[in-house]
Amino acid sequence: MRLQSHSILKRIILLSLVLFAFSAVPRSSDRILVKIDKNQRVNIDESVVQDVTVIQELDSCWIAEVSSEQYATLQQVGATCEILDPLPAAKVYYLLLAASDQIHAIEPLGHLTVIEDQACLFWTEGEDFWDLLPAQIQVKRLPERTAQRITFATEKQEPVVRLQEETLPNAKVLQMVGEVAKSNLSAYIQDLQNFQTRRAATTSLEAAGTYVYDFFRARGISAEYDPFTFSYQGITYATRNIVGSIQGKTVPEQIVIIGAHYDSTSDQPFTLAPGADDNASGSAAVMEIARIMSNYSFDYTVRFICFSAEELGLLGSRHYTQEDARKGETILGMIDLDMIGYAAKVNEDLDLIANNPSEWLANLFVSCTGTYTTVSVLKAIRPAAAGSDHSSFWDQGYSAVMGIEAYPLVNPYYHRTTDTLATLNMDFAASVTQAALATAATLARPVSTPLSPTNVAAHSVIVRSLFSRFKTVLLSWKSTDPTVIGFNLYRSTTPYVNFQRINSAPVKTSDYTDRFLEPNRSYYYVVTAVDGQGRESNYSNEVRDDQKN
């Protein structure tokens, strides 16, 4: 009897071990949340990660969702890949940007995993954690998926560089920059502060939204409410982004956005959250830029957006960008202004945050700042700096940058009841507003004389001979300006920058053939119009050659 019992016990132990081993390996139907390092020990073929669902890019890694088969493949090729949650189904994840000394205050609130310096993955079963989070922590509600694709770093780069690039000033942009009024910025910030609090889920925030809407309409700017709902402690609330718009004259489908969030928070969020720096300062800049640009015409459409519920995880910009992506709109670039009024020193730098695909826009911002203002800019490629509305645009694959007074933050009044207008340096705020205005106007392009060409298209074919192979690009465009007598063609191998003229004399027709190009390289083109006085228009919209073998 004892031998039989011993045999049964052995079988039970063996069965338990088998079941444990099975449960430790994700089933084929499971989805797994993982951390994939950017700097891999081995070369990873792109095909291994091309279908991986990206949730969030950080500075050193990707947070992604994979199938069990994808995870097994990553393991087989020796990829550095760590499981964060083996069962992510139906969970809402948050990215918390917190200093190391704040971690102890978060840990009791839910499931917390430190991913990299000051970036934590957090989830919980309920929503009661909001009022228990330290007010100084930045929060982003992570999407279920983004439009980003995993890439791996080929070499370690310094996180911050200073650029001194300059461009020749445009007379209209120079005039606009000169119209920025410090007194207006102070008045707008005071008006927003006077609502006492602008915490999402309060009537004060909605009243502040109406104030911004009425401001746009009073200046002849087309304005609309962009409503959405969110849940807080089991109750559904309705709120609104405020969207002003100037329709483009030449290529209206190309859209430039300058935005800021107008909600606020503090350690007494429902009663007193003046939010002068965070983020009445950014909202005031958007309003002042809208006031000035409304008196000019641009090739591209310009939108001025004040986002709601940023402090609850970027909910307003998340809603807006998801809708834009669903509509298939073409957003050329987005400038996010978040906290631009506090100066820790006399000659404060503006920190400019971008991810790698948005670096061209950051470079343009630096260039325009150097041309039109005296403010110094520090550019940083920091994908983990995802605590503001620019990050929602990154999620959908749009180019976006954030301008902020300092990153990491140094404002001692941040998310406190003492964040008031009296603590701000309005000379610095005005300089940043000028820099953002110069960049937005340059990007949107004040309407030129003559008018820019439209409907630019590029199609390429690969030409093969016995001993060679090269690409030919066929370009076409339209022009309705009767003063135009010819066109110039510009080509680059990099989007948005470094265009070089490729024709020796103005082209008289509305088509051109660019020959003998490298077959495995992509090319980008813009076209300008030339009138009888020799004046040259703005660049047309940029097009990439569309290869057809």
The secondary structure of 258-307 as a DSSP string is EEEE-----SSTTT-B--IIIIIIHHHHHHHHHHHHTTS-BSEEEEEEEE
Say if residue 446 is preceded by a cis peptide, omega within 30 of 0.
Answer: no
Do 182 and 211 share a domain, yes or no?
yes
300 and 448 Cβ atoms separated by less than 8 Å: no
Q: Is the dihedral of CA 316, 375, 245, 451 positive or negative?
A: negative
Contacts of 437 (CB under 8 A, 6+ apart): 176, 177, 180, 288, 289, 292, 293
Domains identified in the chain, total number? 3
pLDDT at 512: 98
pLDDT tens profile 290-306: 999 999 999 999 999 99
pLDDT at 153: 76
Domain boundary among 423, 444, 465: 444
pLDDT at 7: 44
In the block, residue with structure tokens 């097994």: 72
Would you give the end-to-end CA distance of the chain in angstroms? Answer: 79
In eight-state DSSP terms, residue 249 is S
Burial (CB count within 10 angstroms: exposed 0-12, middle 13-18, buried 19+), residue 431: buried
Do 283 and 333 share a domain, yes or no?
yes
Domain boundary among 75, 110, 141: 141
In a domain, 436, yes or no: yes
Do 431 and 365 share a domain, yes or no?
yes
Do 212 and 246 share a domain, yes or no?
yes
Domain boundary among 444, 467, 488: 444
In a domain, 5, yes or no: no
Contacts of 1 (CB under 8 A, 6+ apart): none
pLDDT at 163: 37
In eight-state DSSP terms, residue 185 is H
405 and 340 Cβ atoms separated by less than 8 Å: yes
Do 401 and 540 share a domain, yes or no?
no
- Residue length of the chain: 549
Secondary structure class of 423 (helix, strand, coil): helix
pLDDT at 154: 54
The CATH number for 536's domain is 2.60.40.10
Distance CA 528, CA 538 (A): 6
Contacts of 295 (CB under 8 A, 6+ apart): none
Q: Are strands 543-544 and 524-531 parallel, antiparallel or unpaired?
A: antiparallel
The tokens of 172 are what?
């209209």
Do 228 and 365 share a domain, yes or no?
yes
In a domain, 244, yes or no: yes
The continuous run of DSSP H or E covering 516 comes out as strand 511-517
Residue type, 345: K
Do 169 and 295 share a domain, yes or no?
yes
CA dihedral 196, 197, 203, 205 (to 10 degrees): 120
Mean of all residue pLDDT scores within the chain: 90
Residue type, 119: A
pLDDT at 90: 85
The tokens of 178 are what?
């000169």
- The pTM of the full predicted model, rounded to 2 decimals, is 0.89
Do 111 and 201 share a domain, yes or no?
no
Do 255 and 201 share a domain, yes or no?
yes
Distance CA 524, CA 529 (A): 17
In a domain, 4, yes or no: no
Angle, helices 203-218/282-293, rounded to nearest 10 degrees:
20
Burial (CB count within 10 angstroms: exposed 0-12, middle 13-18, buried 19+), residue 504: exposed
Contacts of 389 (CB under 8 A, 6+ apart): 259, 260, 261, 307, 310, 314, 316, 317, 336, 338, 402
In a domain, 370, yes or no: yes
Do 137 and 224 share a domain, yes or no?
no
Q: Nearest to residue 145, comparing CAs of 309, 321, 306, 310?
A: 321
Distance CA 433, CA 347 (A): 16
In the block, residue with structure tokens 């499931």: 111
Contacts of 290 (CB under 8 A, 6+ apart): 215, 216, 219, 221, 244, 304
Do 386 and 287 share a domain, yes or no?
yes
With b for 16 or more beta-carbon neighbours within 10 A and e for fewer, the 114-142 pattern comes to: ebeebbbbbbeeeeebbeebebbbbbbbb
In a domain, 270, yes or no: yes
pLDDT at 547: 55
What DSSP letter does each residue of 479-496 carry, written as one string? ---TTEEEEEEEEESSTT
The tokens of 410 are what?
């140094």
Angle, helices 426-444/171-178, rounded to nearest 10 degrees:
150
Distance CA 141, CA 395 (A): 12
In the block, residue with structure tokens 């839910």: 110
- Expressed as residue numbers, the domain containing 505 is 454-547
The tokens of 98 are what?
């917190």
| Half-sphere exposure for 183 (CA within 13 Å, toward CB) | 1
In a domain, 20, yes or no: no
In a domain, 405, yes or no: yes
Those residues of the chain that have pLDDT short of 50 are: 1-29, 155-166, 549
Query: How many C-beta neighbours within 10 Å does residue 143 have?
Result: 20
Do 251 and 400 share a domain, yes or no?
yes
